[in-house]
């Protein structure tokens, strides 16, 4: 983490900011609006926009005199989904946790100090928290699987992550104080379980347990989400499902790694 931010190409960084800005907008965005919002000169903005259009990451809409996302963005999203796809055995574990806990179940994988949702098991009676789609990786301080990751990181790396992401108030219950968060993470480390109550979405809570590789390194998490009232009423059934799911996922990950590398475990 300490090396992040070193050796950045300014033009590439600016192009990514332009792409992020347009992706976050509800509709096509004019060049002047991009320049104003990002503090760029108009000529620089046009150069960046033209480069992104040429690469297929943006499209220019002449009639609207604005820019929108291009087809290459969808290609990248599909590529991400392929790369973070978990083995069928891990998917089956999530399905079992979903059934046992009667809650939406998630497998989140560790990728470069980020926890990214790689698989979701849900049904109409027990749907996911809507932002938690495959590929979600934000607000580690406010999600159960994010807290697990933060609890495993060395202090310096944890602070670097939090300096980058911040600890914004997602809901009124979100723990935003670094001091309080540190206390919470100590408890996570001690119990091997992370719980957030109304921190990510009001009225909903999440619980997560760690998944490790054959060497005992933290590589992911099995998590569930459910209404807070249900979690409080049926805490131990939910916790048992999550902890057992994490044990099963740990075995599945180890077996999948051994199969891929041709090594026996």
pLDDT at 75: 81
Give the whole-angstrom CA distance, residue 95 versus residue 101. Answer: 10
Q: Which residues pair with 109 in a beta bridge?
A: 116, 220
pTM, to two decimals: 0.74
pLDDT at 2: 41
Reported as a pLDDT band with limits 50, 70 and 90, residue 87 is: confident
Q: How much is the average pLDDT of 222-243? A: 95
Domain 85-261: give its CATH architecture.
Answer: 2-Layer Sandwich (3.30)
pLDDT at 1: 43
What CATH code is assigned to 10-76? 1.10.10.10
Q: Using one digit for the tens of pLDDT, what is the confidence trace for 26-69?
A: 999 999 999 999 999 999 999 999 999 999 999 999 989 999 99
Reported as a pLDDT band with limits 50, 70 and 90, residue 4 is: very low
Q: Using one digit for the tens of pLDDT, what is the confidence trace for 118-165?
A: 999 999 999 888 888 777 788 999 999 999 999 999 999 999 999 999
Going from N- to C-terminal start, the domains of the chain cover 10-76, 85-261
pLDDT at 221: 96
Q: How much is the average pLDDT of 65-77? A: 87
Q: Give the strand order in the sheet containing 194-201.
A: 115-121, 104-110, 218-227, 204-212, 194-201
């Amino acid at each position: 983490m300490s090396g992040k931010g070193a050796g950045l190409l300014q033009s590439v960084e600016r192009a990514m900011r332009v792409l992020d800005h347009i992706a976050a907008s509800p509709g096509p965005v004019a060049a002047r609006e991009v320049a104003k919002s990002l503090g760029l000169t108009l000529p620089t903005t046009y150069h960046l926009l033209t480069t992104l259009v040429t690469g297929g990451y943006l499209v220019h809409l002449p009639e609207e005199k604005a820019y929108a996302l291009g087809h290459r963005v969808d290609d990248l999203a599909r590529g991400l989904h392929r790369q973070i796809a978990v083995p069928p055995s891990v998917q089956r574990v999530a399905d079992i946790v979903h059934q046992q806990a009667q809650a939406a179940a998630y497998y989140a994988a560790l990728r470069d100090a980020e926890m990214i949702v790689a698989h979701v098991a849900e049904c109409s009676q027990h749907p996911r928290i809507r932002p938690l789609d495959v590929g979600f990786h934000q607000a580690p301080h406010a999600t159960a699987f994010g807290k697990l990751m933060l609890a495993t990181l060395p202090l310096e790396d944890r602070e670097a992550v939090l300096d980058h992401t911040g600890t914004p108030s997602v809901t009124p219950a979100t723990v935003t104080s670094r001091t309080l968060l540190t206390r919470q993470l100590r408890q996570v480390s001690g119990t091997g379980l992370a719980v957030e109550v109304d921190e990510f979405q009001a009225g909903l809570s999440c619980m997560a347990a760690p998944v490790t590789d054959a060497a005992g390194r933290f590589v992911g998490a099995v998590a569930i989400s459910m209404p807070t009232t249900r979690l409080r009423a049926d805490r131990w059934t939910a916790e048992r499902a999550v902890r057992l799911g994490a044990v099963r996922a740990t075995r599945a990950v180890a077996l999948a790694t051994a199969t891929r590398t041709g090594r026996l475990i």
